[in-house]
Structure 1
Amino acid sequence: MSRKYLRGEIYYADLDPVVGSEQMGTRPVLILQNNVGNHFARTVIVAPITSRIHTKSKIPTHSNIGMIGRMKYPSVVMLEQLRTLDKRRIGYYIGKLPEEKMQDVTRALCVSLAIRQNTSKGM
């Protein structure tokens, strides 16, 4: 039976192989894809997470999520580094972002994709 992935969950994933400046290795990723897509597709859309906050300049496509679940260090979701991964690359579960953190992630995602965010309820 395959795992049910949900938007807002964090897992370890194998991001190799990579080219150039892409995030590499086995690292935490945040599931961004909607739950319908997560259910039916063999792939998931994710954003890599880094704990190297001190080496990353604060940019609008980053969302600080602190420490979630099994994470050992405060971390940042890098929404300029979106990836579509086969579900076989996904490893073990780390945790789930609270709704207020997901709202911050959504804002940074909208900046990354140049999507005008709806300010009304339901976004």
Structure 2
Amino acid sequence: MIDNICRGELYIADLNPFEGCEQGGIRPVLVIQNDKGNKFSTTTIVAPITSNIYTKKRIPTHFTIDYALDRKSVVLFEQIRVIDKNRILRYIGKLNSKDLKNIDNKIAISLGIEKV
């Protein structure tokens, strides 16, 4: 299990098994859980990332990343999920501070805290 996971970090994680339209497989994820929760819990909260940006319909819960990954990708905040830290395979990068602030809006939209 990887220790010292922090909010805003990007990891490769194993999201198998999955059902229906859930994002699954070995793929990048963005950690969105707060650092205190990450320190004391054996789970973390993540949003899956896809590089299939041209086949996905753009919706307000999507956030584009064009750095830190092999290719331009989209964070899917409509698919936020809790995963066990044992699913996290390796570190790949971190969001910059500007983008870290911007994702709060996407999370709020996804959870119905903020209206579109």
Q: Shorter-chain TM-score: which interval?
A: over 0.9
- Cα distance in 1 for partners of 2:59, 2:71 equals 19
Deviation at 1:116, TM superposition (A): 3.3
Contact 1:13 1:29 in 2 (8 A): yes
- Cα distance in 2 for partners of 1:73, 1:63 equals 14
How is 1:5-24 mapped onto 2 (pairs within 5 angstroms)?
5-24=5-24
Q: Note the alpha carbon deviations across 1:4-29, whole angstroms, 9 max, x for none.
A: 10000000000000111100100000
Aligned to 1:102, the other structure's residue is in SS state helix
> Which region of structure 1 is more displaced relative to structure 2, 75-84 or 102-111?
102-111
- Cα distance in 1 for partners of 2:66, 2:98 equals 12
Larger Rg: 1
Show structure 2 runs of 5+ residues with no match: none
1:42 paired residue number: 42
- Superposed structure 1 runs of 4+ greater than 6 Å apart: none
- Cα distance in 2 for partners of 1:20, 1:116 equals 27
| Alignment coverage as a number of residue pairs | 115
Contact 1:77 1:105 in 2 (8 A): no
Deviation at 1:66, TM superposition (A): 1.2
Amino acid at match of 2:106: A
Contact 2:2 2:88 in 1 (8 A): no
Deviation at 1:2, TM superposition (A): 4.8
2:56 paired residue number: 56
Q: What's the TM-score, normalizing by structure 2?
A: 0.94
1:89 paired residue number: 87
What is the aligned-residue RMSD (CA, Å)?
Answer: 1.4
Q: What's the TM-score, normalizing by structure 1?
A: 0.89
Show structure 1 runs of 5+ residues with no match: 118-123
Deviation at 1:103, TM superposition (A): 2.0
- Cα distance in 2 for partners of 1:9, 1:105 equals 12
